[in-house]
Amino acid sequence: MEKRRTVVVSALQFSCTDDVSTNVATAERLVRAAHKQGANIILIQELFEGYYFCQAQREDYIQRAKPHKDHPTILRMQKLAKELGVVIPVSFFEEANNAHYNSIAIIDADGTDLGIYRKSHIPDGPGYEEKFYFNPGDTGFKVFKTKFAKIGVAICWDQWFPEAARSMVLQGAEILFYPTAIGTEPHDANIDSRDHWKRVMQGHAGANLVPLVASNRIGKEIIETEHGKSEITFYGNSFIAGPNGEIVSIADDKEEAVLIAQFDLDKIKSTRHSWGVFRDRRPDLYKALLTLDGTNPVQ
């Protein structure tokens, strides 16, 4: 009897300090914990090397960017991935000549760097002023063939866009991964996006019939801005959803966590094909998606 393709995925959740070595050590400790629980692909949260600095528009924070090549955190995670035989997407602030990106390097289970994805959708609002730091990503949505599965990886604000999820699954992604940094809104304490955030991604999983893994940070981070202090309390709630959009594992809003879930990729593939949503798609009717206003195609 043919062996079925199963994979164990993990989402990590922790509170960041503003010290790179401390945060990378925490990430490594939790990666090892996930590996001990059988994880094959382990997702670390967005920009985990330090505080989420995008609360402020500060020139000195741009100096946190480093080139992809010989990036010290990526090199360390390559060594760790090879030692444990696991896949690790590694989020980092990338410098590329005079451009800067919110990027993620995908490290395969033998330590190979499979390449990077650069965040496509860049938010700009109080407390999340990413357009000051990051160019819009130019890689397009990508799928990475790892030892355990073909995976699609996008970043935080990308997770609100169904087009991104669908694009990755159309290219063969069997699991979607979203490293994240999201919490309270500094300008309005009455806004709570936590449940909305989860439901949107659960919809991506269910609409595309693939598992989905989301990793978010926890803790309060206070940043000195040009207008005084700004603070965000990150709400965690990292989760793993199954291919029907159901949550199969979830963290709370305060505690460090290592989430684990196992999926039978062959069974999911069979269900996805028989359900018919990819068979019955009508790309010829979706031309409005190539416009901003529903009328004029973007050149």
- Annotated active-site positions, please? 46, 119, 156
In order of 23, 59, 67, 138, the CA distances from 19 in angstroms are 6, 18, 19, 29
Specify the pairing of strand 88-96 against strand 41-43: unpaired
Distance from chain centroid for Cα 289:
23
The count of residues in the chain is 299
Residues 36-57: b if buried by 16+ CB within 10 A, e if exposed: eeebbbbbbbbbbbbbbbbbbe
Dmax of the chain from CA atoms?
A: 65
**First-last CA distance in the chain:** 52
| Per-position DSSP letters for 215-283, written without gaps between them | E--EEEEEEEEBTEEEEEEEE---EEE-TTS-EEEE--SSS-EEEEEEEEHHHHHHHHHHH-TTTS--G
Alpha-carbon distance of 265 to 282, in angstroms, equals 26
Q: At what angle do helices 20-36 and 72-84 cross, to 10 degrees?
A: 20
Q: Residue 64 and residue 18: Cα distance in Å, rounded?
A: 11
Q: Measure the CA angle with vertex 217, ends 130 and 30; round to 5°.
A: 130
